[in-house]
Amino acid sequence: EISKNVFESKENQIFDKYEKELNEMLNKKALYKNLIKRYKMLFNKLNQEVTQLKQNLIREHNETVDQYNHLIKSLKKEISKVIKTKEIKDAQRFVNKLESIQPKTQNPNNTQTFEKGDTVQLGKSIGTIIGIKGEYAQVNIDGKIVKAQTSLLEKKQPKIKQSSLNIINPQEETKELNIIGMHAFEAEIEVLQFLEYADLNNIKEIRIIHGKGSGVLKEMVRNLLKEHKLVESFSMAPPNLGGDGATVVTLK
């Protein structure tokens, strides 16, 4: 009986021990499960924060880029305004000059004959004839070439004093025009006048020097030549005459 009780006591001790260990394992399992759950929650939260941070950084970067682009756009507008203001002023000065030389009426009784090199009066301005074709003459007035009917002209005695302005010598045919450094508006007027000059003087080939630079003047010149009635053809100048920085024009 005693040995039986001892055995049962031992058995109970062993059972209690394993039951205790089992409970500890179950408790640890529950603890680990809770820890894993908590870590997953923390990981998800951290992942969300990282994602949000990335989005914030991207948004801030885009906003900075947008602000930069807006600033560049504003600066370009301001620069364009300055350039346009300068061109408008140049254009207005040229219009005022044309208005000052534009006569109000023609003189039907004007029977004078004119030739290249004559000094003439057109309106209130004095100039030199540099070309004549039919009823029209091309007059150089203070470096500006103006096309006018001969009936509007009046012969004048040439001034002895030499002008300091860059005026074309009527005795020398000019076959090239340099527009480097001009604004597009100013250069376009010069090209149109030069085409008229070449036509009046029966010059069949001219060269327009526009330079390479940004390409604005070259593009303006070639677009103008495509549509002009006096132009037969045009091409890039050969290398020894300026290459892509100049355009050779053949007139009809």
The domain ranges of the chain are 11-73, 86-171, 173-252
Query: What pLDDT is attached to residue 39?
Result: 82
Return averaged pLDDT per consecutive 10 residues of the chain, 252 residues in all: 61 75 81 82 83 80 71 67 60 57 51 84 83 83 79 76 42 76 84 85 90 88 90 91 91 90
The fold adopted by the segment(s) 86-171 is SH3 type barrels. (2.30.30)
CA 33 → CA 27, 28, 38, 47, 117, distances in Å?
Answer: 10, 8, 9, 21, 109
Query: What pLDDT is attached to residue 209?
Result: 92
Query: What pLDDT is attached to residue 81?
Result: 63
Q: What is the mean pLDDT of the chain?
A: 77
Query: What pLDDT is attached to residue 31?
Result: 81
d(CA 175, CA 204) in angstroms, rounded, equals 9
Q: How many residues are present in the chain?
A: 252
Q: Residue 235: which of 249, 219, 221 has the closest Cα?
A: 249
d(CA 116, CA 203) in angstroms, rounded, equals 14
Query: What pLDDT is attached to residue 171?
Result: 45
d(CA 103, CA 125) in angstroms, rounded, equals 10
Antiparallel, parallel or unpaired: β 119-122 and 153-155: antiparallel
Contacts of 251 (CB under 8 A, 6+ apart): 195, 198, 199, 203, 204, 205, 206, 230, 231, 232
Query: What pLDDT is attached to residue 220?
Result: 92
Query: What pLDDT is attached to residue 170?
Result: 44
Antiparallel, parallel or unpaired: β 231-236 and 144-149: unpaired
Q: Residue 175: which of 94, 67, 250, 87 has the closest Cα?
A: 250
Query: What pLDDT is attached to residue 94?
Result: 61
| Chain segment 77-89, per-residue pLDDT in tens | 766 665 556 555 6
The fold adopted by the segment(s) 173-252 is Ribosomal Protein S8; Chain: A, domain 1 (3.30.1370)
Q: Residue 206: which of 173, 159, 168 has the closest Cα?
A: 173
